Structure 1
Amino acid sequence: MPATNEITVTQLNRLIGTPDCPAIVDICLKEDFEADPHLIPGSIRHLHTDIRGLIQRLDGRRAVIVCQKGLKLSQGLAAWLASEGHRAEYLQGGIHAWRAEEGTMRVPYAALPALVDGATLWVTRHRPKVDRIACPWLIRRFVDPSARFLFVSPSEVPAVADRYGATPFDIEGVFFSHRGDSCTFDTMLETFALTSAALGRLGLVVRGADTNRHDLHPAAAGLLAVSVGLSRQYREDHAQLEAGMVLYDALYRWARDGYDEGHDWPASRG
């Protein structure tokens, strides 16, 4: 009989990329992780013995604890958290099961920028439109849920990055930027090995909207229109980002589950 506090690879994989995804905590031992330095998308690394630190870090969020095989480390920590009233599950089969399941993604740990005060810190041009909202959504949903973003004058992005240790993106001459006909969103998908069919569909729409090539996908012109509208509606960039997170959450669910659905009138035809 399955344990009441376990979650399967399939169940967790369906949650990743959505606002309902729990905090995923990788507690694999150092030697095991160094032998295979990849993360489940959106997960964080934490020492299994630092229970108080983890409780503080979770801040009341539901957690899925992940170890190498889903045995003593993750089951023990999940049970400990539950004993103190925290919502916690362990991943059935651990990293071994995740790695073996078809359709799962694994983020190379080496691709993540260095943390600044416990989270990745990114900087880009202010007054975002497409890439500069799409990329933060991608990072928070698949790379670092705690990521912080700075929006500054275009001329000041390199200097702010240097002074504060932030990672610049979507400006010329930096790693996370346009490459050829691709946009910054494409660069991040490739760098973080985010290769699902859903993200590929979404990436095509973002590229079409961001590079003004609406022939790439019928939804590209609509995304540009909504993005421009959001930029006019919100004066403050972070408020626009929060609204944009909802937009891209919806686009992701369309790309994953509803991309082949149409709409017609009268309703009897649908």
Structure 2
Amino acid sequence: MPAFAEISPAQLMRLIGTPDAPVLIDVSIDENFDADPFLVPGAVRHPHTDIRTLLPSLGDRPVVTICQKGGKLSHGAAAILRDAGLRAEVLAGGNYGWRDAKLPRIPAASIPAKQGGATLWVTRHRPKIDRIACPWLIRRFVDPDARFLFVPPAQVVDVAARYDATPFDIEDTFWSHRGPRCSFDTMIEEFALATPALSRLADVVRAADTNRLAEVPEAAGLLALSVGLSRQYKSDTEQLDAAMPFYDALYRWARDGADETHDWPDNRGTK
């Protein structure tokens, strides 16, 4: 059982990937982190000695602090945040407790370098499926503040080089299709996020993105809604923002509701 002002790994995992996820701040010292360089999905590193500088950016969002063992560093950081009026808890057991619970851990080396506190990605304009699903995955599980640039296909590689951005979902780049698998699959693999829910969601994204609709019943619906969103919004950035709640719902379906069906008439409670 978690102790005072703590949240268990299982409880936190239920929040990660949803709009209700707290801000996750990893305050491990470099020496400890370098010995086991993995992050809880969505966590960002920040020095424990400088925790107050985060206050302006946190607003009133709940926070979970994390260190390697869930001890003095995370409890001290959480107490400082609570003293400033925030809702702050500690991940019980820290990174090691998360590891021992066999929950997904993102290799720190897999995350591109940040600019101004956020990763910067670039892809082709007029997104449909993969180029929306990948940003959703990154913002919900890797970097909540990630920024995305949408440019003409011929300009993606040059924009990436000029602006130090990471290209994705374009041929002959690292973060792209690999054989029959799409860019969303690549990101799940490289970020070590192959949970049952995300793997189920990946099946839908892959079938819709690669025109194999017969393989997964839900893929046709994802394609239809994705095309509709692309027609509804002229701005790719506005389209991405509008699609985030849609993918949130798909994730909850994949995690909690894939076995639920619906029929008419509804005869529940008649006997």
* Common topology (TM > 0.5): yes
SS across alignment from 2:115: coil
SS across alignment from 2:90: strand
1:144 and 2:182 equivalent?
no
How far does residue 144 in structure 1 lie from its aligned partner after superposition? 0.3
| 2:6 partner amino acid | E
> Equivalent residue for 2:109?
110
SS across alignment from 1:50: helix
> Equivalent residue for 2:175?
176
CA distance in 1: counterparts of 2:40 and 2:51, whole angstroms = 21
How far does residue 62 in structure 1 lie from its aligned partner after superposition? 1.4
> Equivalent residue for 1:229?
228
How far does residue 2 in structure 1 lie from its aligned partner after superposition? 5.2
> Equivalent residue for 1:161?
160
SS across alignment from 2:267: helix
CA distance in 1: counterparts of 2:11 and 2:159, whole angstroms = 40
How far does residue 52 in structure 1 lie from its aligned partner after superposition? 2.3
CA distance in 2: counterparts of 1:4 and 1:35, whole angstroms = 28
1:122 and 2:105 equivalent?
no
SS across alignment from 1:223: helix
| Identity over aligned pairs, percent | 64
- What is the count of residue pairs matched by the alignment? 269
> Equivalent residue for 2:83?
83
SS across alignment from 2:211: coil
| 1:177 partner amino acid | S
| 1:142 partner amino acid | F
| 2:220 partner amino acid | A
How far does residue 54 in structure 1 lie from its aligned partner after superposition? 2.3
Q: Which moved more, 1:158-167 or 1:59-68?
A: 59-68
Q: How does 1:60-71 map to 2 (within 5 A)?
A: 60-71=60-71
Contact 2:52 2:81 in 1 (8 A): no
CA distance in 1: counterparts of 2:244 and 2:51, whole angstroms = 31
| 1:162 partner amino acid | A
1:240 and 2:244 equivalent?
no
| 2:74 partner amino acid | S
How far does residue 68 in structure 1 lie from its aligned partner after superposition? 1.3
> Equivalent residue for 1:49?
49
CA distance in 1: counterparts of 2:90 and 2:200, whole angstroms = 31
SS across alignment from 1:49: helix
1:210 and 2:213 equivalent?
no
SS across alignment from 1:115: coil
1:93 and 2:90 equivalent?
no
SS across alignment from 1:180: coil
> Equivalent residue for 2:34?
34
Q: Which moved more, 1:91-100 or 1:3-12?
A: 3-12
Contact 2:138 2:144 in 1 (8 A): yes
Contact 2:2 2:8 in 1 (8 A): no
Q: What's the CA shift string for 1:122-145, capped at 9, x where partnerless?
A: 000111000000000000000000
SS across alignment from 2:247: helix
Q: Which moved more, 1:66-75 or 1:126-135?
A: 66-75
CA distance in 1: counterparts of 2:175 and 2:53, whole angstroms = 32
> Equivalent residue for 1:261?
260
CA distance in 1: counterparts of 2:191 and 2:57, whole angstroms = 24
CA distance in 1: counterparts of 2:249 and 2:19, whole angstroms = 10
CA distance in 2: counterparts of 1:131 and 1:248, whole angstroms = 12
| 2:77 partner amino acid | L
CA distance in 2: counterparts of 1:31 and 1:163, whole angstroms = 33
How far does residue 61 in structure 1 lie from its aligned partner after superposition? 2.2
> Equivalent residue for 2:130?
131
Q: How does 1:11-26 map to 2 (within 5 A)?
A: 11-26=11-26
How far does residue 164 in structure 1 lie from its aligned partner after superposition? 0.6
How far does residue 254 in structure 1 lie from its aligned partner after superposition? 0.2
- Provide structure 1 residue ranges, at least 5 long, that are not aligned to the other structure: none
How far does residue 216 in structure 1 lie from its aligned partner after superposition? 2.1
- Provide structure 2 residue ranges, at least 5 long, that are not aligned to the other structure: none
Instruction: State the Cα RMSD in Å.
Output: 1.3
